Amino acid sequence: MAKIITREPKNFVEQMLWKITKPNTEVKTNFYRLMAVSQEAGLGMRETLKGIAFAETNDAMKSIINEVLKDVNEWMSLGKSFGTFPHFFETYEIELINAAEKMGNLPQVLRDLSLELEANDKTNTRIIKAMTYPIGLFLFAIVAVAVLLIFVIPTVMDLYKGQEDKLPWITLFMIDASNFMQKAWYWIFGWIVGWTIVFSILYNTQILFKKNVDLAMIKIPWLKHVVINFYMYKFSKLLGDLSNAGVSPVDSLDQMRKIFSNYHYKVKMQAMKTDLENGFSFSDSVEWSELFDPVLIQIIMVGEKTWNLAPILLTMANFYQYQLGLKIDALVGMIEPVLMGFIAAMVGWIVAAIFLPIGWLMDVVGW
């Protein structure tokens, strides 16, 4: 049984162990939901944590709860205790808990967190399911073509030995491709794996490379609609929740800067934070920004004028969450016919390379 890491991992080995044992989103969602129900029922924090720990079946989650219980028994606040687990609790979750404990609306914030995690999990699952079919189909087609080139084409082409000068160019091309694949397939596989690793390293270590890749994500047609909708949803939801919890706008933007993964949205959150510190409004900071939906910009202007920004943002978050699902479906709907056309072209090319010489051979033998 792997060692269970509770407090923040200190070295590489502990980080690997934590990734193996880390509770999934469903376990975390249930934890927040049970916390909310227990607090709404009037149970004390110690009794709440004891009851949840007793019923918890995930060993890592049980260990974390027991550690939090020790902190609470030592009169540490829940938010401060969560802050000692930055590898498990997100910074905005900790901020919400801290604010909720001060304002006295902890049960509602815990319930909102469970709903938010559940919604995020559903969105991620939807994206994975939507992309599984086209990616699986593409990989299957690549493997099928490789098998044909390595094993099938050489057997068929044995029929035409000594007649290479009379074969059509498409067949000669496939013979050359087959010979190359037989000799260098492992180099091709290594090249693909190598470039995948290089891309990952560059993206995570080189700012300029990450900046350009993230820029492409918000510039490529169709894909940009999914990315922008996703960030409009996250921005509206996080800012609305943090505002309702009593977190200052400046601190809220700082939290979102840490959460957002896209370089350009990170920079924009920092710029908005600076604008607010210098006396500008949200609407002043986001006006004319290509990173924001024009509709949301107008909504922010209305919300600030009516002093009703947080509820309006949460309403817009629901809208963008719905729109995100539609954009994902539209993207998949666009990818599928393009992918099918690509596969049909590959199959047609291979069939032509095999059967054109057969027609020539039939003419030679007088059939």
Domains of the chain: 12-89 (no CATH), 110-367 (1.20.81.30)
Give the tens place of pLDDT for each residue, 288-334.
888 999 999 999 998 888 888 889 999 999 999 889 888 888 887 78
Q: Are 329 and 318 in contact (CB under 8 A)?
A: no
**Residues 49, 53, 59: CA angle, nearest 5 degrees:** 140
Q: 299-320 as b/e, with b when 16 or more CB fall inside 10 Å? A: bbbebeeeeebbebbbebbebb
* CB contact set of 99 (below 8 Å; sequence gap of 6+): 109, 242, 245, 246, 247
- Per-residue pLDDT 10s for the chain (367 aa) are 445 556 666 777 777 777 788 888 889 999 999 999 999 888 889 999 999 999 888 888 999 999 999 999 998 999 899 988 888 888 888 888 888 888 888 888 898 888 888 888 887 787 777 777 777 877 887 887 777 777 777 777 776 676 666 777 887 887 788 888 778 778 888 888 898 899 989 998 999 999 999 999 999 887 888 899 999 999 998 898 888 877 888 988 988 898 898 999 999 999 999 999 999 988 888 888 889 999 999 999 988 888 888 899 999 999 998 898 888 888 877 877 887 888 788 878 877 877 777 666 665 554 4
Q: 99-111 as b/e, with b when 16 or more CB fall inside 10 Å? A: bbbeeeebbbbbb
**Residues 250, 256, 260: CA angle, nearest 5 degrees:** 150
Between CA 229 and CA 338 the distance in angstroms is: 23
Query: In the chain, what are the helix, strand and coil shares in percent, each to the nearest 5?
Result: 80, 0, 20
The verdict on pTM exceeding 0.95 is no
**Residues 6, 25, 264: CA angle, nearest 5 degrees:** 95
Between CA 279 and CA 360 the distance in angstroms is: 81
Residue 149 gets which letter from DSSP?
I
